[in-house]
Each structure stands twice: as structure tokens, then as C-alpha cells.
Amino acid sequence: MNPHERFYEKVRTVADLSFAQQALEWDMQVMMPRKGTPQRAAQVAAVATLAHARMTDPELGDLIAALEADGSLGEAERADVREARRGYDRSVKLPERLVAERARAVALSHAAWEEARPKNDFAGFLPHLETVVRLTREVAEAVGTANRYDALLDEYEPGMTEAELREVFGDLKSRLLPLLDAIRGAPRRPDPSVLHRHFPKARQEAFSRRVAVDAGFDMTAGRLDVSAHPFTSGTLHDVRLTTRYLEDFLPAALFGTLHEAGHGMYEQGLDPARFRDPAGQACSLGIHESQSRFWENIVGRSRAFWSFYFKPLQETFPGTLDDVSLETFYGAVNHVAPSLIRVEADEATYNLHILLRFDIESDLLAGRVEPRGLPDLWRAKMCEYLGITPPDDRDGVLQDVHWSVGLIGYFPTYALGNLYAAQFRQALLAAVPDLEARLERGEMGAVKEWLNRNIHVHGRRWLAQELCQRVTGRPLGPEPLLGYLREKYAEIYGI
């Protein structure tokens, strides 16, 4: 076997182990009996340790070096070597003990979070969070970048730094706040109360499933289940979506499912010949979130979308929305108001939730705040950013799953996703000028086809900002998102 073949054999084995770990974690969150948590934690740790050993094999390092010196490689192969180098150099800095201990800790921590949130029991969750934060700080120190946050951010958004984020987010916030002020003083106010009627779970599931399939999610290569916090797992022909159903609040499942279907269609749209290769996988979490936020908001909250789907929605819930007009419903799903729960936030205030979490986790990772101080800090930041204060920790610091499973450095990718999505929207409209008319007819195929051709199939051939430049002809910036929000809310609110 020549070095080229040996390289791909080894990196694809690492990918397969990663997919196996994802399947174990999906089962833990969706299907596993609660008493199985300690066993599953040991299993996840064992697979993570095995994947780490394969990734840090000195032979793989030698193969990467040999291929780096091979001038005959094509663009896709060079990208694979680049990504393998990045992963190898990061992995060899992490002791096997730390990889196993952290994998076990986050499995136990997630189970503890699932129990703690409905009970509003931050004190019961705190020991697990302290362990996860301690081990995550160890990971950041071992990686050894200029600051701890950069070490973690690079795992989710390669090439991005905390300093760059502060500049991008600072610009976004300063330009977003005047729009929110204008909306608060607007002459028209949509009524969101129609979203809080009784919507039986089974009918929600049927409608959400229909919309996901109509958008292009392949249920023969995926499935839709329920979890405490919606997420997507798996890739290509085995993609698992989860959602949650609230019978007194329709958007939770409807837009949550569309969001996760966006993630799922990205994974199903990867190149089947390359999805196990280092650069054949998704580009970054920011690009991934651009796909979920695109379907959830730019498509799912558009007037054109509801021009087609409002009548089927009324038929799905007979008698529930018969007295509601399309205009009333469209206004309701685009109602802007500060809210406690991030995943239920409107498009205009959503990014403030992300900036809040970015500030907090930066302080947490740097040691400027310890886990025990998070509830008070959370309440203070909610008041500062959104002008409201959570009544308890369940709807405050405990609301998100991410920190329980060690996803510190992940939250910024949601705001980056909104920025990328708005920029991709402009490029899509230029390519498909009759897009709105198509959506009014319930035809979403052009959206999926364009996203697949321009984004999904390329995987990580280019880093996120280069992909953005290639697709849109310009670097990432806030104006496309702000312009989209201004245009949309000017029409809804009369500003």
C-alpha cells in the first residue's frame, strides 16, 4: 500500500470512530434508559480514546509530512492533508488521559443537566459543570494558543479568533440596537397570542415532518425523534434530527424541526465519495448554523413560505386557527420582543442572546468567573443585553445544553451562521430571481439545490471565510443581515 492509500485508510478509520461516537451519544440522549448513563459514559470514553490513539499515531504524522511534500496532489487531496495536519497537530497535544476523562465527564454531565433543568436545580448540576469546565480549560491550555478561547474556537470555526469575533460582534450589536429601538416604538404590533393555542403533539409532528420532507430532508436517510434539547447527529445516509413539542406553543417544534432539517440537509448533501475524508466533512459550525438558520428563518418565517403553508397548517389543526388570517399569523411568527429562551427568540433579538453567551463563556474559560457564579452573572447579562431578568435558573443559565457537554466556544457560530445565511440569501436571490414566487407555490427545491451545489458538496475544501468569498463575492460582514432585517421589519411594523 503506497503512502497515499495508507493515509486515506487511517484518516477514514478516525472518521468512522467519530461517527460511532456520535451514534452512541445520540442514543444516550434519545433512547437509552436513564440508568444506563454510567455504562454509556465508559463506552463513549473508550471510543474517544481509541479515536485519539488513531489520530495521534506517529505513522499518520509521517504520512501527512510525506504528502505535504508531494507536489502532484490535486486541490481536494491538498485540502485533506491540510485538515489532517490541523487535526493531528491539535490531537498530539492532548494527553490520552484528558481525552478519556473529558469524554466520560461530559456524558455524565449531560445526564445531570437533563435532570437539573426541569427541577431548577443548578446546585445539583454544579459539580458536573465544574468538572467539565476544569477539563475544558485543560484542553485549551494543552493546545497552547495565545488565549484559551482561541484554542476552543478553532475546533468549531477554524481560522477565527476571539479578537476577530469581538470586532464583528461589536459592529453587529452597535448597528442592531437602533433597529430594535425603532421596532419598540413602531406604530404596528403583531399579536403573538395565536401561537399559544392548543396544538396537539401528534399533529405538530405530522406537520413538522411534512415541512422537513418538502424542504428536501430525506427520511430514508434520516429520522426525526424527541430530545430535551433539539440537535442533529450523523452524516450522509444516517442523519438523526431531534425536536421537542410544546402543546401550548407551536413555534418550538415547527421552527426547531426546520432548523435541525437545515443541519440534516447539509450532512445529507456532502459528497458521498468524500464524507469520510478530512476535508470532505462540513466546513465549519458557522457554515453549518447558516444552513439551519437559513431554513428556520429566511425560508420558514418568510411571507412567501406561509402564503403556501398557512392553509395546510389550518387544516392540520381544524378549528384552532380558523379565525386567524395569513397576515395575523405571519406577524405572529415574526413578533419581536425580548425573551428569556434563546431557541424561541425572534430574528432581531436572537444575536443578543449569542453575544451574551460569548461574553460569559469567554470569562468562564479565562477564569474571570467560576461556574458557581454563573447564575448571578447570567441574570446581570440578560438585564444588560435584553432588559429582562430570568425568574429562575431553569429559564436562565440552565436553558442550554451546550456547556453541560463541553461545547464552550460553540455559541458564536450561531451568530456567524446568521451573518453567513443573510449573505448567502443575497447570492441565491441573484441566481434565482423568482425565488419568492416559487416559495409561494410550495416549491423549495431550488433553495436546496443551490445550497447543495454551492455549499454542501464542497465540505471543507476551503475554510469558512474563503467559502463565503467564493459563494457571495465578498468577505463576511453585517450589512446583508442588517439590510434583510430592516426590510422585513419595516414592512411588518410600519417603521
Which positions are annotated as active-site residues? 260
Beta bridge partners of 235: 238
Which residues 6+ apart lie within 8 Å of 145 measured at CB? Answer: 151, 154
Phi, psi for residue 395 in degrees, rounded to 5 = -100, 15
**Neighbouring C-alpha atoms within 13 Å toward the C-beta of 168:** 24
- Cβ count near 313 (within 10 Å): 20
Give the three-class secondary structure for 240: strand
| Category of 70 on φ-ψ map: left (φ > 0), alpha (ψ -120 to 50) or beta | beta
Residue with cell 447527529: 233
Instruction: Write out the three cell numbers for 335.
Output: 413578533
**In whole angstroms, what separates CA 97 from the centre of its chain?**
29
CA-to-CA separations, 449 to 147, 215, 265, 426, 446, in angstroms, rounded: 40, 10, 10, 16, 5
Question: In 10 A of CB 308, how many CB atoms?
Answer: 16
Q: Can you say how many angstroms the Cα of residue 174 is from the centroid of all Cα atoms in its chain?
A: 24
Starting at the edge strand that comes first in sequence, how are the strands of the sheet with 222-226 ordered? 222-226, 238-243, 232-235
Closest CA to 466 of 331, 211, 292, 284: 284
